[in-house]
Structure 1
Amino acid sequence: MTAPVFHRVAQLELIRDDWRWPFADDRRAEIDAHFAKRRLEKPDLFNGRVLLGRNARFTPQCFSADIFETDFASFLSWRDWGYPDHNVFNGFGMGALRASDGAFVLGEMGQHTANAGRVYFPGGTPDPSDLRGDRLDIAGSISREIAEETGLLESDYRSSDGWCCVVSGTLIAILRVLQVDRPSAVLRDKIEASLAQQVAPELCAIHLVREPGDFTAAMPSFVTAFLATQFARG
């Protein structure tokens, strides 16, 4: 696997079009059969609509791309089968929550989710509710995911300027540091209290990362690469 590539940009121009994904059309029967099998393993999986991208373009100021809509079953099959269509990417926003003592707060995905056991920042593949007209609102997607996963509201953190886009194969993580004016232990307690009140929380555990020695194999390479750059900057 190639090392993640970083692009720091000031703005995003992610615009939806009506392009149809040949992979989803041509392999429909296989996709449906695969999703049925996956639902036997994880009954909570839901075949909703998601947004993927193509034609990624980076300049020093902007990340732009064409965004299209597909079903979760097609996305899951594409991912599980090793991303056979390399012309498409999964672009998703993530909020890198950082406590007042410098520790980053990450969540571990629950066993009922499609990413069980993985540890990363709150976020996820965007869906049509994240569109504002034809424009994909990544900042809004991050706020929505954080509220759903952790119970934190926009008033609980301050967003840094700009974006760090980490390209890892067919994944593009669109990250922004979110500063929280609470110590990490207090922030973890607050999130865990929220998880305890949720019927089926996406997260099953909260991890505090203060230094590279806290990295684990459950953290994707784009997460640890991003964290390494943050710790290097101090």
Structure 2
Amino acid sequence: MRYGAACVEWDKLMNECRENTVYRATKVDVRIVDGPLDYAVQHREAIAENWRQDIQKHPSLFNGELYLAPEARFENGVFEAGFIRDSYATLMYWRKDPAPVRPWHIFGIGVIVSSDNVLIAARMAGSTAAASRIYFPAGSIDDHDVNEGRVDYDYNMQREVKEETGLDLRDAHAEKGYALVTGNRSVALFKRHYFNQTGAELIAQIRQVLSMQDEPELDDVIAISAAGMMGDATPTYVRAFADWHFGHK
């Protein structure tokens, strides 16, 4: 890794966070730092071969920009990281890499919460790389989400939720701060957005939007109304957040 002793010390702080455990973050500061990403350089040939195989399975995949962080830390409620710009192909290889130490993938999740305390999850469409997996609508950081050298996670959440569901998170009441959960070198930054509509009303609205999209990213939307409802089709860190939510309203 590029950042020597400082990076090792930051990693030590992150590793003190128990995986699949919710922590409250009062501040998030993810800045863009100069590349290249050493991980991508070291695995260049394997990344290219993996991407060739992936696009054979999913021809609609697009190798756009993607950010990964060689360094990250969480201390006293403050999360900080340095992002390096790379490509989606690197992330696709990174997802399959079993190495315990590799860059951090850091993303925001704008959680839709209905007036009757239903969380709106979604099943990914078959054309996506995560087909049939169940998540809360969200997406990785790209260039649109960078403002003056730092990541605007609130904007990223608004953009992704709008694109996938048609809902505007600005119409909801957003909680302060974030719920931070780690899992397998991912850092998920959850922020709940409370809507005035019921779960049934929101789901009907989203399904109407999906019906008008030529190639929707989502196959369907799902109401999560209690702990334990999100099963093996959902990443462990997402399940951990959902279960925590119903115990910490």
TM over 0.5, shorter chain:
yes
2:105 paired with 1:103: no
Give the Cα–Cα distance (whole angstroms) in 2 for the partners of residues 126 and 74 of structure 1: 14
Identical columns (%): 27
Structure 1, gaps ≥5 residues long? none
SS state at 1:88 partner: coil
- Equivalence for 1:119: 134
Compare 105-114 and 54-63 and name the one that shifted more: 54-63
Kept in 2: contact 1:159–1:177 (CA 8 A): yes
Match of 2:81 in 1: 65
TM-score, normalised via structure 1 length: 0.94
Structure 1 residues 34 and 213, CA gap change in structure 2 (3 angstroms)? closer
Q: Are the counterparts in 2 of residues 123 and 142 from structure 1 also a CA contact under 8 Å?
A: yes
CA offset at residue 154 of structure 1? Answer: 3.1
Residue 180 (structure 1) aligned with residue 195 (structure 2): yes
Aligned to 1:168: 183
Spell out the pairing of 1:35-184 with structure 2 (5 A cutoff): 35-82=51-98, 84=99, 86-184=101-199
Equivalent pair of 1:106/1:120 in contact (CA under 8 Å) = yes
CA distance in structure 2 between the aligned counterparts of 1:153 and 1:215, rounded to whole angstroms: 24
Distance in 1 between the 2:31 and 2:209 partners? 34
Over the aligned positions, Cα root-mean-square deviation in angstroms equals 1.4
- Higher strand content, 1 or 2: 1
| Contact 1:15–1:135 (Cα < 8 Å) also in 2 | yes
Please report the TM-score for the alignment, with normalisation by the length of structure 2. 0.89
Tell me how far 1:7 sits from its aligned partner. 2.3
| Structure 1 residues 155 and 6: alpha-carbon distance in aligned structure 2, compared to 1, 3 A threshold | closer
Aligned residue pair count: 232
The answer to whether the Cα contact below 8 Å between 1:7 and 1:58 also exists between their aligned partners in 2 is no
Match of 2:24 in 1: 8
Matched, 1:31 2:47: yes
Matched residues in 2 for 1:134 and 1:16: separation? 5
Deviations 1:70-120 (A, max 9, x none): 1111111111233x3724111000011110011110011111111111111
Change (3 A) 1:219 1:210: same
Which of 198, 206, 209 does residue 213 from structure 2 map onto? 198
| Mapped contact 1:23–1:85 kept (Cα < 8 A) | no
